[in-house]
Structure 1
Amino acid sequence: MAEYFNGVKPSDGFYVKSNYNYTHVHQDILISLYTPLIGTDAIGVYLYLSQFNFHNETEAYNHYTIMNDLKINLSSFRDSLDLLEGIGLLKTYFKTNQEEQTFIYMLEQPATTEQFFNDPLLSVFLYQQIGKSRYLSLKNRYKDSSISTSAYHEVTKSFTDVFKVPKLSEIEQQDDIQIKPDVKNKGLDLSDVRFDFEMLELLLNNHLISKEILNKQTKEVIIQIATLYGITPVEMKSIILKSITENQTISLQDLRKHARSIYQIEHEGELPTLDLKKESVKAKQNDAKQEVDSLLSWFELLDTTSPIEMLASFTKSEPTISQKRVVEDVVTREKLPYGVMNILLQYVMFKNNMQLPKAYIEEIASNWKKLKLTSAEEAYHYIKNLDKQTAEKKKERNNKANNTFKLKSIEKTPEWLLKQKSAETPKEEQKNNESDAAFEKRKQELQKEMEAFWKEGDH
């Protein structure tokens, strides 16, 4: 739908809706926790839009109103919407007809303080943005300092202890009135993030750990952590093994802690930052540039897709158990990046009639690990250069073979042999001619054998 948003016009109408009842608590969370992440402009747009929801307007406003009230152009407004959508505070809906196009801006409830500080992405990004001192200050600000009830016994009376229960027939049903539900924030939308849980389950199975340990909540946290720190199933397996409790469950707190420690070790103590994606405007200027971008997108896809998923998509069938085992063993042992492994598997399939010989894969994987290939693009260009060198060597060998036969065929006949031929009888001359014909035939057969030999040597 992005193409419609880019074409929004000042005269386009819009409505504002909300899925919760806004309070001063939400405003405090927006200002103190969300503003450091997406800035005052985006939060200002959110608060500005909320006024239209309060009045339950039945007629659409147009975007001239926004431009005039906020003194901004539609491009800046769209930038703020992108930030609000990405952080999970707003959803945009679009409808068009021949006469006009209309938008609905759905305001989403901010995360509660508990949700925010327990969310691996939001909490880490906030920490990295504002620093340790300010982060701890905000966290202590929302700390529950009330008296604990754990040492007390509850003596509260229930509803039926106090009130008479009315009969259903006495209650007048009002089904035509709908009360707005107040829902909790659903967190950041990571529904488009793909993580290879199938490979993770295979890796854990090697350590006699059942896949049942990966319940729904654990999988959600794994996706969050994997997105935040760029963790592969192989690395996630090691983190999970460190996070298993005595009760054979996964401690989500330890899972986050170990993942954070590994990332900081590899990045000199730094944590991930919340960076924006920058789209290339020039990518659509000409066909040649689009081809390059298409290839780069293919590399990016290979770098982020697990080898098993790639095999299923590439062959349009579910990989066999033995194929999965081969991939798992090579990935575990050689620790090749996804992109490199995917290029390797495709290369082997092309060379072996869509088969995956284990020994051949292991040999190439070992060699590529020594070459320190780090991405699909590097592996792709390495193969292209290798094929080019092989083709040049083949051409050179064929030229040498052809020149050898040509030299033999144009070699000058010695004078003594000419004299001997002139003295031979016609019968003997015929015999020699037959011998020459046999030699020529044998020469041609030998040439074909050598050409076949070189062809075999190229495979």
Structure 2
Amino acid sequence: MNFIGKILPIEGYYVVVKSSLPVDYAKSLTHLYQPLIGIQAVTLYLTLLHEVELQKEDSPQTHHTLMNYLNLPLDEIYQARLKLEGIGLLKTYENKGEMQNYYTYEIQSPFSAKSFFLDGMLTQLLYHHIGKDKFELLQEHYTKQPVTKGSNITASFNEVFQTFQPQAPANKVKQDEKTASSEAVFDFTWMEQMLRQRMIPAQRVLTGENKRLIIQMMQLYDLETFEIEKSLLWALTEDNVLHAEEFKTACHDLFKSKYKETDIQLTEKQSSPTQISSQEVVTKEDQLVMELEKISPKQLLEDLSSGNHASDQDMKVIREVMTSQGLPSPVMNVLIHYVLLQTNMKLSKAYLEKIASHWSRANLKTAKEAMAFAKRETKNFQKGNQATSGYRKPASKEIIPDWFKERKKKQPSTAKEQNVDKEKEQQEIEALLRQFSGENK
């Protein structure tokens, strides 16, 4: 494209700064914007920024000055200006005078390095310009979380003050608690900002039902923030309504594109004796619950499959059951583990759905609740109370999850603990797992 003659060297310009710049604007321009718009556009931006201090109110600078500063012809300066305008770093206003025209360049604040990665379009462009490895390095560096402050126990306004006596129906209170519980562990601020930047009404998209679906898909497929953004924008209709099925399909397609290896089959693993202390035996179930609370269903399947990628078909089955029954990720993990133990490591959709519907009606929210419920129902079944439980007879072989033992770091042992009979400890571990799976020997 020919840019010669678009502006003349004798034409003047003024520079104004729209708002204050973030502290790390130079890092953002260098590492995030420069790969997208080039060094000439970034240099022009910085030159205009520092021209503010030197300009006179009654005498505009000429573009010939910019040519000398940048050592560039005017057509290349004009091209760099267009890039700044297109990326959102500059606004240009033309003033027609009797003798000659002059321009006002309004400097726009760039995103801070952290906020840059909240913009779906810019992050996708940067990803394609610099490649996966460099992108992940920058994203990890600029979006790393600050040092943890501990659990936030600050009382809210509603917890301290009351202006009237609420009279909400009981079922509505229960639903509100469930929604608040989900959002408490997930911050939607980044998504609201992304939608507003695209002039999309965030309240229409981020309904309570859609938030729950977004959380489920992010946990199920272990997706990154920019991947969720991409799936969400893909699934929006022309009326800015989220199409749930298209969103689930988009998330699943991203999962498949990341893991193109041949689908694997879950198989039973042979366990080996592990030396642990008596204190560890007592708390083994609690440690297992903690792991099931933290990991995603996808990670659980991979751990149970010796680290291989979860199969496409297994992920589809889990997705349908998880979303249709509205089970939280920790509860789904317990369900997956339980079904695999009961069915000789075969993931049966019919069996999953049967138990999931029962657990959904029980309103289970945590892995601990689900594990206790499963043990109680299995115990009732073994006593002959089949009316309250539809679970199958436990599998004939005990499954000791190596993934759990491998995840736990070994603690230093005293000389006395090292002499504990390995066979006895193995029997204690197996007895604990049988308590969960419901098997009696």
**TM bracket (short chain):** 0.3 to 0.5
Larger radius of gyration between Structure 1 and Structure 2: 1
| Bigger proportion of residues as helix | 1
Q: TM-score, normalised by structure 1?
A: 0.36
